[in-house]
Each structure stands twice: as C-alpha cells, then as structure tokens.
Amino acid sequence: MARSVVLITGCSSGIGLHLALRLASHPSQSFKVYATLRDLEDQGPLWEAAQAQGCPSGSLETLQLDVRDSESIRAARARVAEGRVDVLVCNAGRGMMGPLEAYEDHAVGSVLDVNVAGTVRVLQAFLPDMKRRRSGRVLVTGSMGGLMGERPAERVQLAGGGVFLTALHDPQPALRYYTTERFLPLLRLRFDDPSGGRYLAAMRRVVFQEESAEDPDDAPPAEPPAAGLGAP
Ligand SMILES: NC(=O)c1ccc[n+]([C@@H]2O[C@H](COP(=O)([O-])OP(=O)(O)OC[C@H]3O[C@@H](n4cnc5c(N)ncnc54)[C@H](OP(=O)(O)O)[C@@H]3O)[C@@H](O)[C@H]2O)c1
C-alpha cells in the first residue's frame, strides 16, 4: 500500500517535531514525513530524536520552508519526491505572551505574518493539487486561546500526538467539533464567576479527567487563581 505523504511546517521544535517523529516511527510504517524547518541549521534535534526512536530509513526527510516566503514554500513543494502531499499540517507559528502595551511595534504584524498569512501561503501552495486530485487532508494547529482567550494546560500539548492521529483519520474535522462542543459551554462560567475559579475547576476536570463539560454548573467551587490572571 502507498504510504501517506505528510508535510509538516515548523518542525524545529515542539508539536511539529514530535508529530513528525510520531508519524515517521509509526509501527504501521504507513507515513512518509516531510518535516520542514525555517532554518535547516536547526534540524539537529529532530534527527537525534529520530535516531533515538528508530525511525526507519526513508520515513523522514527535512526540507527548508519559511512560511513568510512564498518562493521557499514552492521550492519545498517541488522537492516532494512523490509529487503529491496527502496530509498537510500547517503547524508553524509564533506565540505572543504578556501585556499588550509591552509589545514592540512590529510584534503583532510579525505574528500575523507567520500565523495567519503564513498559513494561507502554505494552503495556497498545496490546496490546488489536493483539489485537482479530489483527495487530501489539511490540519492546522490553532489555539483554544482563539476561542477562550485562555491558554490551555500543558497537558493538552502532551496529549497532542494522539489527537493528531485521530484527526488524521477522522471523517469530520474532529478538533473543531471537540473544542466547540466541549469547551464553549464553559465560557458561561467566566461571566458567572469573575474570579475565574469555577472556570478553571471545570476546565481542569475536562482536560485531566475527560469528564463532560455539558453542565458547567456541576463544577465544584475552586481556589481563586494564584497569579490573579486566571492562567492554569
Ligand atoms: N504548545 C501549545 O500549547 C500551543 C497552544 C496553542 C497553539 N499552539 C500552536 O501550535 C503550533 C506549534 O506550537 P509549539 O508549541 O510546538 O511551538 P514551538 O515549539 O515554538 O514551534 C513553533 C515552530 O514554528 C516554527 N516557525 C516559526 N516561524 C516560522 C516561519 N516563519 N516559517 C516556518 N516555521 C516557523 C518554529 O521554527 P523556528 O524554531 O525556526 O522559529 C518552530 O519550529 C504553533 O502554531 C502554535 O501557535 C501551540
């Protein structure tokens, strides 16, 4: 059976790196992974981890791809030996933390250029072929922060490998349904309890114990957040 060709952006660290390893070392050996990096000089940790995990030869390749540069995206696409990408993972992104008034002038524009315009550039490069073939899957790493205005607990990230594998095979856009159905009901708690304590308690139950979030009123009262900012 032909392997699924997966191209992932932003593989120098974090989710991109670990997803690339997870797929390249998958026991089914059903994935060929193109792990792309903005700067190939940063590919050392990926290859060290690939060696440690015993990724089979030919399961993983690295390509240079900077999502801010359309030419670099086109060049990466041209180097996909199979001539097609079955699964495109738009993962490259930059975070922005801290109080708004502390951001430097270019900070917001630069985040939008990578996270939003960069994702669009990558989609523009790969979608036409998927449409022509009437086949393909696109996964975009976003943030629950976009829905909740709140950072998820780190454990969500640690669970990420399994979540991606599920999304990769799911007939529907699973993560969107998951976040909408499970987390949006919790929003009400943010208004009902301005301290944020009940919201955090309910969120903790959902994230760590996989309990239903459908009735947020079930959430037990919680200690107010230590930092006073509501961060988990
Ligand atoms: N971890 C979380 O809990 C979390 C939560 C919400 C959203 N996310 C999103 O998930 C994605 C991955 O996050 P992460 O936690 O794994 O962060 P990370 O370790 O910082 O990884 C981000 C990756 O994006 C790459 N990148 C940045 N600018 C790029 C560009 N112009 N072109 C190509 N690649 C670029 C980085 O490469 P360089 O090393 O070269 O900069 C890095 O490989 C991001 O889109 C992030 O916004 C993560």
Contacts 24+ apart (CB under 8 A), 129-133: 129/84, 129/85, 130/85, 130/88, 133/84
What is the Å distance from ligand 1's center to 7 Cα? 15
Q: How far is the CA of 93 from the centre of ligand 1 (A)?
A: 4
Of all protein residues, the one whose alpha carbon is nearest to atom 32 of ligand 1 is 66
> Taking residues 206-224, what's their average pLDDT?
52
- pLDDT at 146 (0 to 100): 57
Domains of the chain: 1-142 (3.40.50.720), 149-232 (no CATH)
Buried b (16+ CB within 10 A) or exposed e, 155-164: eeeeebeebb
pLDDT at 196: 81
**Phi, psi for residue 62 in degrees, rounded to 5:** -110, 145
Cα distance between residue 144 and residue 167, in whole Å: 16
Query: Quick check: 156 pLDDT over 50?
Result: no
State how far the Cα of 217 lies from the Cα of 199, in Å rounded to an integer: 10
Q: What is the pTM of this model?
A: 0.76
Tell whether ligand 1 has an atom less than 6 A from the beta carbon of residue 105. Answer: no
Average pLDDT in the chain: 81
